[in-house]
Structure formats: structure tokens, C-alpha cells
């Protein structure tokens, strides 16, 4: 059996309730999978799954979320046809979010505490949803951004994906000390990609390239269940997009950078429209669950933020609350808002349950299956604690950074940096610190956070790893391209 970092079960009070809920939810999911629970029309229904996750697109970068400027007609349509989770949370930065959705566990449990410096690598003993789905008979493909380790043992081809079409590092053209880096001098136009361990030169704008490849793969696998993760590097900086997408926003009075950022999102929107059309034309629409989400809040202080405080890299709502749309025509009700506190860690148990897949023995998840809420927005959903830590401490400073850039979130409250408490229900913009008005809430949240922090410390396996001598993708480029 693999060794995993578990919750400390010697808990009490509110903390005991929260931990017990998480463990019970995981156990119930596993039991349902084992029994083939006939009470649910969703469990084991084995839909095709398309997970779209964009990079640095905040909750407010959608017209359907009140943005008065951006044009997102296809995402607006997706929103209208979906079950929407309106209190869905991720990590404040990209690699950590990807680790949590891949594993169903807080990213720290898989050693991911940063986006660079070897600390973006998903621990090799972690179990991914791709592995679980592949074992259940799914074809599994990833297109675009991986960002959970560029060295060979960490790449998606070794983590459960039967098809891999990715760039390196956290973004096209990025390079950092150690193993984290993309191909040298890579570009948003005509980028090099790593396609199943071979370096390939592509043609076109990066987002178009990733969606086109995904759609080719979907068509080729239309006769068997598939899981396609389309993970765009857009709209992450550098802010570059085809002029036809940028120019309308410049004409509307936006500066060049903001216009490019919005243009990148509108380009994503066009690609999503093409994908939805393809699913319909292939006769896959009613057999396919399409999920749309983003990886953290946006990084732009002056742009629409849906009334939230904070953005990317911060432990406030604006850093962690993102869109989450689940569209499955003929199966899920359209236009439904679910306000229960949910998170990226919930995707693993949800997709496993829908696929009828078996969660490995001994694997304890932090996430809960969303299947009850997908069936009924009013389903019982006990309160819980979600733990946030930005994690970008200096080398060797993990222990000293316990209360730097952190938060504990329950359905009603958010405790930030151990000294600010916000009543999210009555103050969604986090403007009034009410820490003195709710002493027992603070006591319970602090106790839960203390126990969680102590529990994850042994899992931080990447903290003191020496930096690799060269970016892994630079090595590949030299071996397969430059020296040929």
C-alpha cells in the first residue's frame, strides 16, 4: 500500500465534525462505488468528461457574471445550460490548484507549495484522477498546461494520461532555475509542444492549437469513454493574442494590456463554442459532461472582480473563488445555482463516482463527491473547513510561514492570516473585520488550522530538493530539435 499523509483523527469539537465529514464523504463515495448504488442515476453512468481549465481568469471575467465589457457568448451559454457552483474555491495560484483537482487532496499533501523551484512537482506517490479513470477503461488526454513537474517521472504520460500534448513549466516560454521550464524561446504563436514524449512544432495561436488537438483526439475516441483535460495557458501573461480579438477592446477604450487579456478570453470563448458544436455534431452532447473552471483569481487590480476583495496570490475570496459550470444536457438540470461550499478537491471523487471507478484502498481524500448536489441543489451538505495557504515562502521557511498568506473558510466565515474574520454571507466583499464579535468561531477555526498545518508538514517532500542543473524541456529541445 502506498504511504499517504492523512488527517490527524485525534480531533474534537467543531474540528472533529469537519474532519469527520470529509472522511465520511470519501468513505460513502467508495462504498457507493463498491455497491453500484442503484439509488442514483448518475453513479457509474460513465459519461465522457471534458474538463476545461483556464489560467488566471477570475470569477469576474465573464459577461454572465456581470462584467460589462467582456464578450463571452459561448461561456454565457454554457453558464445558462449548466449546474453552477457559486461558492467554488481553488488555490490562489496555478500549480497548487492543479495538484488538488488531480488528487482530491489539498496540494500540500502532494508536496506542491509553489509554482517553481522544484516545489511545483506532484509527489510521485500521489494518485491522480487520470490514473483512476484510465484503470476504469477511460481514454485520458491532456492538452495544454500541466505544471506539476517537467522531469519525465512527473509528466502526465507517467501519471495516467494516455495522450499528452503539453507545454512546459507554468507558461509558454517560461524558464526558472531547476527543472521547471518550457522549450527555449517558445512562443504563443506556432509553439513547440511535447506530444507523447516527442517535441513537435505546431502552427497557429496556442489556445487554438490546444483545442484543435483536443477535438481531433475526441473524434478519434468517440466510441469509448474519454476524459479530456483542456488546460489553456491563456489568459496568463505575457498578454498576447491574435489582433482580431484584441482590437475591439482597444477601440472600446481599454489599454493595450487589458485589451489583450480580454481578447485572450474571448478567443477561449470562441474555441469553447467550436468544442460544443463538435460534441453536438458527433452525437456526443448528451453523453458528455463538460466542466468549466479557472485555476485562481485574476491578477489585474483595475479590472472587474465581481465585487470581491483580493486577487491571484492572495488568501481572500478574489484569490480563490472561481467559476465552476457543469453541463450535461438531458441529465443535469440547466440554469441551477448551488451555493454550497465546494472546491477543486471535490472533482476527483465526483468524476470517479460518475465513472464507476474504484478509489484505491487506503487513499483518503479531502474532497467530497458533488453528485448529491448535481442531482439536487438542496441536498444535505454539512459545513466544512477549506484551508488556503499561498505557500510561496523562501526556501527553508515553511515552518516559520504558518500564518503568512493563509485562510480558513467555512460556509459563512473566512479567517484570514489568523487575525481577520469576515462574515462572507453578510459581507461578501470582506470589508469589515468581525473577529471580536465571534470568539468561538475564531477558536474553532484556529484549532482546525493548527491541526491541519501539523498534519501536512510531513508531506512537504519538495522543500529541500536540490535544483536540477537544467530545465527538463530544454534538454528535450537540445536532444530532439537543436542537435538534429
- pLDDT tens, residue by residue, 244-282: 999 999 999 999 999 999 999 999 999 999 999 999 999
CB 134 within 8 A of CB 140: yes
> Grid coordinates in use for 121?
512537482
Provide the terminal-to-terminal Cα distance of the chain, rounded to the nearest Å: 44
Q: Where are the domains of the chain?
A: 13-375
Instruction: Give pLDDT, residue 483.
Output: 67
Query: What integer is the mean pLDDT of 190-217?
Result: 98
HEC states along the chain?
CCCCCCCCCCCCHHHHHHHHHHHHHHHHHHHHHHHCCCCCCCCCCCCEEEEEEECCCCCCCCHHHCCCCCCCHHHHHHHHCCEEECCEECCCCHHHHHHHHHHCCCHHHHCCCCCCCCCCCCCCCCCCHHHHHHHCCCEEEEEECCCCCCCHHHCHHHCCCCEEEECCCCCCCCECCCCCECCCCCCCECCEEEECCEEEECCCEHHHHHHHHHHHHHHHCCCCCEEEEEECCCCCCCCCCCHHHHHHHHHCCCCHHHHHHHHHHHHHHHHHHHHHHHHHHCCCHHHEEEEEEECCCCCCCCCCCCCCCCCCCCCCHHHHECCEEEECCCCCCCCEEECCCEEHHHHHHHHHHHHCCCCCCCCCCCCCCCHHHHHCCCCCCCCCCEEEECCCCCCCCCHHHCCCCEEEECCCEEEECCCEEEECCCCCCCCCCCHHHCHHHHHHHHHHHHHHHHHHHHHCCCCCCCCCCCCHHHHHHHHHHHCC
Catalytic one of 4, 147, 298, 304? 147
pLDDT class of 58 with cuts at 50, 70, 90: very high
Give the mean model confidence (pLDDT) for residues 414-426.
98
* 483: CB partners within 8 A, 6+ apart: none
At 107, is the pLDDT very low, low, confident or very high (cuts 50, 70, 90)?
A: very high
What pLDDT, on the 0 to 100 scale, is given for residue 50?
Answer: 98
Chain centre to alpha carbon of residue 395:
25
Mean pLDDT of 62-71: 98
Residue 191 has pLDDT above 60, yes or no: yes
pLDDT for residue 343 is more than 80:
yes
CB atoms near residue 139 (< 10 Å): 20
* Nearest CA-CA partner of 98 in 303, 275, 269, 236: 236
Cell of 323: 467559476
**Which pLDDT score, from 0 to 100, does residue 179 have?**
96
Share of the chain above pLDDT 90, in %: 90
Specify the pLDDT at position 279: 98
Phi, psi of 478 (to 5 degrees): -65, -40
Residue 304 confidence (pLDDT)? 95
Whether 402 shows a pLDDT value over 70: the answer reads: yes
pLDDT at 20 over 70: no
Please state the φ and ψ torsions of residue 206, each to the nearest 5 degrees. Answer: -50, -45
Kindly tell me if the per-residue pLDDT of 371 is higher than 70. Answer: yes
Task: Give the pLDDT score at 482.
Answer: 78
> What whole-number distance in Å separates Cα of residue 127 and Cα of residue 79?
31
Q: Can you give the pLDDT at residue 79? A: 98
Is residue 323 pLDDT above 70, yes or no? yes
Report the alpha-carbon distance of residue 232 to residue 189 in Å, rounded. Answer: 14
Q: Looking at residue 22, what is its pLDDT? A: 39
What does the pLDDT average to over 282-297?
98
**5, 18, 32, 94: which one is catalytic?**
94
Q: Phi and psi of 213, rounded to 5°?
A: -65, -40
385 with 448: CB under 8 angstroms? yes
Superfamily of structural domain 13-375:
Alkaline Phosphatase, subunit A (3.40.720.10)
Q: pTM for this structure?
A: 0.92
Q: Is the pLDDT of residue 119 over 80?
A: yes
Q: Strand 192-195 relative to strand 163-166: parallel, antiparallel, unpaired? A: antiparallel
What does the mean pLDDT of the chain come to?
Answer: 92
Helices 206-220 and 256-281, axial angle in degrees (round to 10): 10
What confidence tens digit (pLDDT) does each residue in 26-51 have? Answer: 434 333 433 334 335 899 999 999 99
CA distances from 361 to 30, 143, 318, 365 (A): 9, 30, 36, 11
Q: What is the mean pLDDT of residues 102-129?
A: 98
Q: What pairing do the DSSP bridges indicate for beta strands 198-201 and 420-423? A: unpaired
Residue 37 has a pLDDT of 41
Our answer to whether residue 18 is catalytic in this structure is no
For the segment 78-105, the average pLDDT, to the nearest whole number, is: 98
153-188: pLDDT as tens digits = 999 999 999 999 999 999 999 999 999 999 999 999
Is residue 111 within 8 A of residue 460, CB to CB? The reply is yes
Nearest alpha-carbon partner for 141 in 160, 159, 163, 156: 163
Active site residue 32: no
Model pLDDT, residue 30: 39
Kindly state the average pLDDT of the residues 290-305: 96
Residue 5 confidence (pLDDT): 54
Q: Identify the pLDDT of residue 6.
A: 39
Q: Report the alpha-carbon distance of residue 413 to residue 19 in Å, rounded.
A: 17
Find cell 514524449 and name the residue: 197
Amino acid at each position: 500500500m502506498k504511504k499517504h499523509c492523512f488527517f490527524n483523527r485525534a480531533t474534537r469539537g467543531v474540528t472533529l465534525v469537519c474532519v469527520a465529514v470529509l472522511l465520511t464523504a470519501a468513505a460513502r463515495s467508495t462504498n457507493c462505488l463498491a455497491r453500484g448504488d442503484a439509488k442514483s442515476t448518475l453513479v457509474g453512468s460513465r459519461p465522457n468528461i471534458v474538463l476545461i481549465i483556464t489560467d488566471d481568469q477570475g470569477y469576474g471575467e465573464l459577461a454572465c457574471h456581470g462584467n460589462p465589457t467582456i464578450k463571452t457568448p459561448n461561456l454565457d451559454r454554457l453558464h445558462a445550460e449548466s449546474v453552477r457552483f457559486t461558492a467554488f474555491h481553488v488555490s490562489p495560484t496555478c500549480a497548487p490548484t492543479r495538484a488538488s483537482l488531480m488528487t482530491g487532496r489539498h496540494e500540500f499533501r502532494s508536496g506542491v507549495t509553489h509554482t517553481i523551484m522544484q516545489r511545483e512537482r506532484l509527489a510521485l506517490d500521489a494518485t491522480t484522477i487520470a490514473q483512476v479513470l484510465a484503470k476504469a477503461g477511460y481514454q485520458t488526454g491532456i492538452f495544454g498546461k500541466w505544471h506539476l513537474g517537467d522531469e519525465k517521472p512527473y509528466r502526465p504520460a507517467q501519471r495516467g494520461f494516455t495522450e499528452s500534448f503539453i507545454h512546459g513549466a507554468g507558461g509558454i516560454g517560461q524558464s526558472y532555475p531547476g527543472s521547471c521550464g518550457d522549450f527555449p524561446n517558445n512562443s504563443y504563436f506556432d509553439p513547440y509542444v511535447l506530444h507523447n514524449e516527442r517535441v513537435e512544432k505546431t502552427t497557429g495561436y496556442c489556445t487554438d492549437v490546444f483545442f484543435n488537438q483536443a477535438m481531433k483526439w475526441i473524434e478519434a475516441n468517440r466510441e469509448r469513454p474519454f476524459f479530456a483535460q483542456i488546460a489553456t495557458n491563456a489568459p496568463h501573461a505575457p498578454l498576447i493574442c491574435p489582433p482580431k480579438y484584441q482590437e475591439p477592446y482597444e477601440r472600446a477604450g481599454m489599454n493595450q494590456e487589458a485589451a489583450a487579456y480580454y481578447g485572450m478570453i474571448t478567443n477561449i470563448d470562441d474555441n469553447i463554442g467550436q468544442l460544443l458544436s463538435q460534441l453536438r455534431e458527433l452525437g456526443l452532447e448528451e453523453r458528455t459532461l463538460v466542466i468549466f473552471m479557472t485555476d485562481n483569481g485574476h491578477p489585474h487590480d483595475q479590472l472587474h472582480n465581481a465585487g470581491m476583495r483580493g486577487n491571484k496570490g492572495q488568501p481572500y475570496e478574489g484569490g480563490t473563488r472561481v467559476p465552476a459550470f457543469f453541463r450535461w444536457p438531458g441529465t443535469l438540470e440547466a440554469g441551477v445555482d448551488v451555493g454550497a461550499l465546494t472546491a477543486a478537491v471535490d472533482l476527483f471523487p465526483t468524476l470517479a463516482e460518475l465513472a464507476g471507478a474504484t478509489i484505491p484502498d487506503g487513499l483518503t481524500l479531502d474532497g467530497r463527491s458533488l453528485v448529491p448536489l448535481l442531482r439536487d441543489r438542496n441536498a444535505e451538505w454539512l459545513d466544512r473547513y477549506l484551508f488556503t495557504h499561498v505557500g510561496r515562502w523562501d526556501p527553508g521557511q515553511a515552518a516559520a510561514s504558518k500564518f503568512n498568506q493563509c485562510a480558513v473558510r467555512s460556509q459563512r466565515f473566512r479567517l484570514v492570516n489568523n487575525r481577520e474574520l469576515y462574515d462572507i454571507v453578510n459581507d461578501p466583499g470582506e470589508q469589515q473585520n468581525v473577529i471580536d464579535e465571534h470568539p468561538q468561531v475564531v477558536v474553532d477555526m484556529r484549532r482546525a488550522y493548527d491541526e491541519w498545518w501539523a498534519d501536512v508538514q510531513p508531506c512537504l517532500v519538495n522543500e529541500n530538493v536540490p535544483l536540477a542543473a537544467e530545465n527538463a524541456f530544454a534538454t528535450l529541445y537540445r536532444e530532439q530539435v537543436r542537435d538534429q
